[in-house]
Amino acid sequence: MRRLDCSSSQLTWGWSIRRWHGLFLVVIMLFSMIPVVWGAGIATIIELSEPQNAFEVMLGGSTKITEKLVPFVTKLQAGDTVKVIKKDCGEKPCFMTLGDNGVSKTLTFDNTRDHPYKIEDVPTTTIFGEVLKNIKDSLIFIKAKEFYVQALKSGPPDSTTEPLTAPLLKPDVTAKLVSDGKNGLSLAWYGGKKPYTLAVYQGKTLLLEQKNIQTEGLKLDSQAFGKKNGTYRIVLSDSSATNSNPIESKIEWVTGEKSILSKVLDIQLDKNLSPSAQQTLSAAWLITQDKGMWSLEAYQHVVKEANYLPALWIKTGLENGIMP
């Protein structure tokens, strides 16, 4: 059973959610390759400072929003206004980052002091607009938030009664990973009987075998993959007497794929986005590329982003197989 941690500012959990399967059938339509027109005057809150009373959000410029503002869940329409009414939130300036009309914009006390920021209906064709529109259309973050609340009420499921399952390791898909020579490979699974054993092969050559694993996941060092190029095979097994068929999956380290990785680079160069937001948007875009081949790479982008709730939603979805 994995850990469930609660704090006043966030909900951070690592235990597996089994009942998500079938709940997010629209997830696979997160992103497409063709830029679209960002219209209808809808803006998306990407991230914001705490406390929330640092902001004054007015519907139609006249009715104040009293509900909690949630990134990727609270949507703003044309005519709505946003004003940052506090200069500092703790040790840092108060801010709200919006995706509006195909671009990212960071609102602060200084740039909204004289006039609140107004959402305008000015359609713009951009890649960034494509990303945000598809997030809105998929409703993934809204559904994920709703399920978080339900799961907190019901408590964590009993993982000891379930077979070994590793949604990140797909037997019918060769996962693609970016070969940058810097990071290792984070993996996650659930169920089965501890301890676990994980092995890495290149061809018939055993490169690494790690036994007596007591956790439902680990991070493999980069050195486990030698020069980090070509195709590798990962084999995961547990200690149950009935487990005669271990989980096997292939991964391929790549350096090209410009049509896919260039979009990730565009997102990560957006200076209005925090590193956490950059990683989360990159992961969300990667998830639907090439029939799930980039899902394992997407997981690497969000696995460490424990302080940003949208990243946790993506991370948990990947760990539990409700995303391709």
C-alpha dist (Å) from residue 173 to 7, 233, 241, 294? 37, 11, 27, 10
Spatial separation of the C-alpha atoms in residues 205 and 192, rounded to whole Å: 27
Q: Tell me the CA distances in angstroms from 66 to 43, 55, 74, 117, one per residue in order.
A: 18, 11, 12, 18
Is 271 in a helix, a strand, or coil? coil
Share of the chain above pLDDT 70, in %: 74
Taking each helix axis from N to C end, the angle separating 309-319 and 295-302, rounded to the nearest 10 degrees, works out to 140
Question: With contact defined as beta carbons under 8 Å apart, do 199 and 178 qualify?
Answer: no
What top-level class would CATH report for the domain 1-29+160-324?
mainly beta
Provide the whole-model pTM: 0.79
Per-residue pLDDT at 28: 27
Whether residue 105 is predicted with pLDDT greater than 80 in this model: the reply is: yes
Q: How far apart are CA 265 and CA 107, in angstroms?
A: 24
The first and second tokens of residue 4, run together, are 């469930």
Can you give the C-alpha Rg of the chain in angstroms? 21
Q: Given this model, what pLDDT does residue 134 score?
A: 65
**What's the mean pLDDT when you consider all of the chain?**
79
H or E element: which one contains 96? Answer: strand 95-100
Q: What is the pLDDT of residue 225?
A: 78
Calculate the CA 320 to chain-centre distance: 13
Taking only the tens place, the pLDDT of each residue in 27-50 is 323 333 333 333 445 888 999 999
Please, which pLDDT band fits residue 54 given cuts at 50, 70 and 90?
A: very high
Which residue ranges make up each domain of the chain? 1-29+160-324, 40-122
pLDDT in tens, 120-178: 888 777 878 777 776 676 676 676 667 666 666 766 666 566 899 999 999 988 999 88
